[in-house]
C-alpha cells in the first residue's frame, strides 16, 4: 500500500470513531481529510518535505500534525487513544455493510454482542428484534451482510494457497490410512483466487483418515469432525473441507468436487442423453442404477465419449465439445519451461545479486533468466540509465562465465513514457537480448490514450514483450482502460509478445485475455517479476494461467532454448 493509502486509512478510522463519540465536527474534518488524501496524485512524503501538508484542502494544523506523526512513526497516538476508549466488538461490527457506528454501539451495549459470530447467532435466534428499530427484515439483512463479509474475507490468492496445500498434502499423505489425496475445487482448476479448499481423500479406514486431517499442525479450529466429512479453519482463516471416500469411488468424487459448476451441469446433461446418471458416487445406468465407472476420472470421461479434460479447462468454455471430438489442445507443462523472462536484481529494486539469481535458476532447473531491471524514469525503483545498464551488462557477462549451466540474458523492463516512446534510446536497447516494455503511470487515462501509448511502444523494433499488459492488481486495482483487441491485432503485426506476469497479485494477462492473444496470433512470454530470490518460484503460477488459457508449448516463448530465443529478436 502506498503511503497515501496508509495515511488515509488511519484518518478514516479516527473519523469513524469520532462519529460514535458524537464529536461531529472533528469527525467530519478527519473523514474529509482522508478523502482528500485518497485522491491526492502526489506522494504525500513529497508534500510533507515541502512543508505543505496544511495546504492540502481540508487539512488544518492538527490533522497535518497527525499525518506527520503517521509518516514518521507509522502510528498515531490519537487513534490509539480512541481505540482504547471503544468497547471491544464495536469496531468489528462496523466492518459489516449496513451497520453504522450507532447501531454497532447499541448491539454491544444493549444485547452484549461482542463479535460478528455473536451477532450471527443472535440474528439466527431472532433475538435482534428485541432491540427497538430492529425487525425480522433487518435480521435477514444482517445475516446477508455477514455472509458477504465472510466471502470477501475468505478469497485467497492462488499464490498464497499453493504452499499451504503443499504442506497439507505432505502431512496427509504421510499416513498409512490414506491411499490418495488431492485438493479439488477451484484450487485444482487453478483459479486466480480461491475461496475454501476441498480436500479429497481415498481411504479404507475413514476414522483414521479424518483423525489425521483434524490433527494437521496449521489447524486453528475444528468446526465439525465426522468419518466422511470434516471441516476446519486454518490459522489465517482459510476453511478446509475434507471428504473421505473409498478408493473405488475416488475418481467420481474428484470429478464432482473439482467443478466448475457450469462444467458439471453440462456434463450431467450429456450423461442423461446417453442414458446415464452422474453424481459424486459415480456414473450409473439410469435403468437399474448399475454402476458404470467411478474409480478414475479418465474412465468416467471415456464412458461419456470424451478425452479426459485437464482441470484448468473445466469452465464450460468449449472444452466439453473439444473433448467429444478428441481435439483438446496439448496444454503447456511446467517442465517445458526453459527460462524466466522477467526478473529484477539489486541493480534496481530487487534484493538479490545477479550471481544469486543465476544460482537460484540452476536450482530451479532453468536454462536462462532474463534480467529485466527498471529503466531510469522509475526513480523510486532506482531505475537504470544508459551508463548503469552497460555496467550491468559487464557483470552479467562475468556471472555467465562463472556460473555454468545457466545463462543470464541482458534485458530491461523499459518504462513506456506518456507519449509511447521508450525510456531508453535505441542505442541502449539494441545491445540487449530481451526487452520488456511496461506502463507504470497514467492509469487513469482514457482507453484511446492508453491503447495508442501501448501500440506506439510496440513499434519500437527492440521491444520483445509488453509487461503486465493491463496493470491490474488482483482485489486492489482494476485494469487500466485499454482496447485489447486493437493491441493484440497490432502485436500480431509487429510480432511483439504479450506477458503473463506470474506475480501472485498480478497474473496479467489473465486466462481469458491470454486465450484471446493466442487466437489473435500473438505469442506469450511468462515472467515471475521476481524482486526477491524465493519469488523466482512463481513460475508455476504463470503456467497455470497459460493452461487455463488453453496454451500449448508453441504459444509460450519460454519453451524455446536460448539460441531460439535470441533469434526471435526483431531489431
Q: Does 271 bind Zn ion (CB under 5 A)?
A: no
Please identify, among the stretches 104-112, 113-121, 436-444, 477-485, the one whose residues bind Zn ion according to the rule CB under 5 A.
Answer: 436-444
For 467-513, what is the HEC assignment?
CCCCCCECCCECCCCCCHHHHHHHHHHHCCEEEEECCCCCCECCHHH
Which range binds Zn ion by CB under 5 A, 15-23, 48-56, 219-227, 410-418? Answer: 410-418
Select from 311-319, 407-415, 470-478, 554-562 the region that touches Zn ion (CB under 5 A). 407-415
Q: In 3D, which of 123, 144, 146 has the Cα closest to residue 135?
A: 123
529 lies in the site for Zn ion, by CB under 5 A: yes
- Buried b / exposed e over 210-223, threshold 16 CB at 10 Å, is bebbbebeeeeeee
CA 554 vs CA 371, 413, 466, 524: distances in Å: 23, 24, 18, 9
Site residues for Zn ion, window 364-393 (CB under 5 A)? none
Q: Which stretch binds Zn ion (CB under 5 A): 281-289, 311-319, 406-414, 562-570?
A: 406-414
We find the least distance from the C-beta atom of residue 471 to Zn ion, in angstroms, to be 9
By beta-carbon proximity to Zn ion, the closer residue of 192 and 413 is: 413
Q: Which is nearer to Zn ion, 506 or 560 (CB)?
A: 506
The reply to whether 407 sits near Zn ion by the rule CB under 5 A is no
Beta strand spans in 360-483 (E): 368-371, 407-415, 434-438, 465-466
Among 27, 203, 438, 451, binds Zn ion (CB under 5 A): 438
Judged by beta carbon, residue 76 or residue 438, the one nearer Zn ion is 438
Q: Is 464 in the site for Zn ion (CB under 5 A)?
A: no
Is position 490 an interface residue for Zn ion (rule: CB under 5 A)? no
User: Residue 303: exposed, middle, or buried by beta-carbon count in 10 A (0-12, 13-18, 19+)?
Assistant: middle
Q: Which is nearer to Zn ion, 39 or 534 (CB)?
A: 534
Please give the radius of gyration of the chain, using alpha carbons only, rounded to the nearest integer.
Answer: 28
CB of 463 to Zn ion, least distance (A): 14
Asked if 510 interacts with Zn ion (CB under 5 A), we say: no
Closest to Zn ion by CB, 92 or 465:
465
Q: Does 433 bind Zn ion (CB under 5 A)?
A: no
CA dihedral (134, 137, 139, 143) positive or negative: negative
Answer yes or no whether residue 423 interacts with Zn ion by CB under 5 A.
no
Quickly tell me which residue has 475444528 as its cell: 222
Which of the ranges 26-34, 65-73, 281-289, 413-421 carries the binding residues for Zn ion, by CB under 5 A? 413-421
Q: What is the DSSP string of 32-55?
A: HHHHHHHT--S-HHHHHHTT-GGG
Residue 497 pairs in a beta bridge with 465
CB of 411 to Zn ion, least distance (A): 11
Min dist CB 68 to Zn ion, Å, is: 31
Min dist CB 528 to Zn ion, Å, is 9
Closer residue to Zn ion, CB minimum distance, 192 or 529: 529
Binding residues for Zn ion, rule CB under 5 A, total 3
Closest CA to 283 of 265, 301, 266: 301
CA distances to 19, 102, 105, 154, 173 from 22, rounded to whole Å, are: 5, 9, 12, 33, 57
> Cβ closer to Zn ion: 95 or 505?
505
The DSSP-derived string for 305-374 is: T-----GGGTTTSSHHHHHHTT----B--GGG--EEEEE--TTTT-SS-HHHHHHHHHHTT-SEEEE-PB
413 binds Zn ion (CB under 5 A): yes
Using the rule CB under 5 A, give the single segment among 129-137, 211-219, 431-439, 532-540 that binds Zn ion.
431-439
List residues near Zn ion by CB under 5 A.
Answer: 413, 438, 529
Amino acid at each position: 500500500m502506498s503511503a497515501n493509502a496508509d495515511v488515509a486509512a488511519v484518518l478514516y478510522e479516527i473519523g469513524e470513531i469520532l462519529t460514535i463519540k458524537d464529536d461531529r465536527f472533528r469527525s467530519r474534518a478527519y473523514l474529509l481529510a482522508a478523502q482528500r488524501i485518497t485522491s491526492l496524485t502526489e506522494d504525500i512524503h513529497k508534500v510533507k518535505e515541502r512543508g505543505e501538508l496544511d495546504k492540502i484542502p481540508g487539512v488544518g494544523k492538527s490533522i497535518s500534525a497527525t499525518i506527520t506523526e503517521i509518516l514518521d512513526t507509522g502510528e498515531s497516538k490519537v487513534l490509539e487513544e480512541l481505540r482504547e476508549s471503544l468497547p471491544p466488538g464495536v469496531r468489528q461490527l462496523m466492518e459489516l455493510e449496513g451497520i453504522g457506528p450507532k447501531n454497532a454501539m447499541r448491539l454491544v451495549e444493549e444485547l452484549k454482542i461482542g463479535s460478528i459470530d455473536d451477532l450471527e447467532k443472535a440474528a439466527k435466534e431472532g433475538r435482534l428484534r428485541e432491540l427497538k428499530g430492529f425487525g425480522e427484515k433487518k435480521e435477514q439483512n444482517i445475516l446477508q451482510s455477514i455472509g458477504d463479509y465472510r466471502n470477501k474475507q475468505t478469497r485467497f490468492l492462488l499464490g498464497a494457497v499453493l504452499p499451504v496445500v503443499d504442506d497439507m498434502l505432505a502431512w496427509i499423505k504421510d499416513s498409512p490410512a490414506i491411499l490418495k489425496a488431492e485438493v479439488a475445487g477451484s484450487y485444482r482448476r487453478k483459479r486466480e483466487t480461491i475461496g475454501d479448499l476441498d480436500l479429497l481423500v481415498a481411504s479404507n479406514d475413514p476414522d483414521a483418515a479424518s483423525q489425521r486431517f483434524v490433527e494437521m499442525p496449521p489447524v486453528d479450529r475444528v468446526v465439525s469432525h465426522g468419518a466422511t466429512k470434516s471441516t476446519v479453519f486454518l490459522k489465517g482463516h482459510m476453511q478446509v473441507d475434507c471428504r473421505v471416500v473409498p478408493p473405488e469411488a475416488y475418481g467420481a468424487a474428484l470429478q464432482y468436487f473439482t467443478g466448475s459448476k457450469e462444467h458439471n451441469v453440462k456434463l450431467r446433461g450429456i450423461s442423461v442423453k446417453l442414458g446415464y446418471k452422474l453424481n459424486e458416487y459415480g456414473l450409473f445406468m439410469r435403468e437399474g442404477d448399475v454402476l458404470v465407472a467411478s474409480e478414475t476420472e479418465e474412465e468416467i470421461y471415456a464412458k461419456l465419449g470424451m478425452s479426459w479434460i485437464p482441470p484448468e479447462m473445466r469452465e464450460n468454455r468449449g472444452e466439453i465439445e473439444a473433448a467429444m471430438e478428441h481435439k483438446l489442445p496439448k496444454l503447456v507443462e511446467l517442465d517445458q519451461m526453459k527460462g524466466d523472462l522477467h526478473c529484477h536484481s539489486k541493480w534496481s529494486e530487487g534484493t538479490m545479486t545477479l550471481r544469486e539469481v543465476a544460482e537460484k535458476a540452476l536450482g530451479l532447473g532453468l536454462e536462462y533468466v532474463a534480467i529485466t531491471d527498471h529503466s531510469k524514469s522509475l526513480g523510486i525503483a532506482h531505475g537504470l540509465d544508459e551508463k548503469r545498464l552497460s555496467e550491468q551488462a559487464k557483470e552479467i557477462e562475468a556471472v555467465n562465465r562463472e556460473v555454468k549451466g545457466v545463462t543470464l540474458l541482458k534485458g530491461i523492463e523499459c518504462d513506456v513514457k506518456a507519449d509511447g516512446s521508450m525510456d531508453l534510446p535505441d542505442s541502449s536497447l539494441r545491445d540487449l537480448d530481451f526487452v520488456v516494455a511496461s506502463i507504470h503511470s497514467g492509469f487513469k487515462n482514457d482507453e484511446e490514450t492508453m491503447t495508442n501509448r501501448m501500440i506506439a511502444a510496440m513499434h519500437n523494433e527492440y521491444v520483445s514483450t509488453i509487461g503486465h499488459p493491463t496493470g491490474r492488481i488482483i482485489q486492489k486495482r482494476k485494469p487500466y482502460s485499454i482496447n485489447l483487441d486493437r493491441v493484440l491485432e497490432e502485436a500480431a503485426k509487429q510480432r511483439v509478445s504479450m506477458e503473463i506476469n506470474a506475480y501472485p497479485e498480478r497474473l496479467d494477462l489473465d486466462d481469458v485475455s491470454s486465450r484471446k492473444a493466442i487466437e489473435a496470433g500473438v505469442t506469450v512470454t511468462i515472467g515471475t517479476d521476481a524482486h526477491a530470490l524465493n519469488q523466482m518460484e512463481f513460475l508455476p503460477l504463470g503456467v497455470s494461467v497459460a493452461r487455463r488459457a488453453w496454451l500449448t508449448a508453441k504459444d509460450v516463448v519460454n519453451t524455446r532454448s536460448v539460441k531460439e530465443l535470441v533469434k526471435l529478436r526483431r531489431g
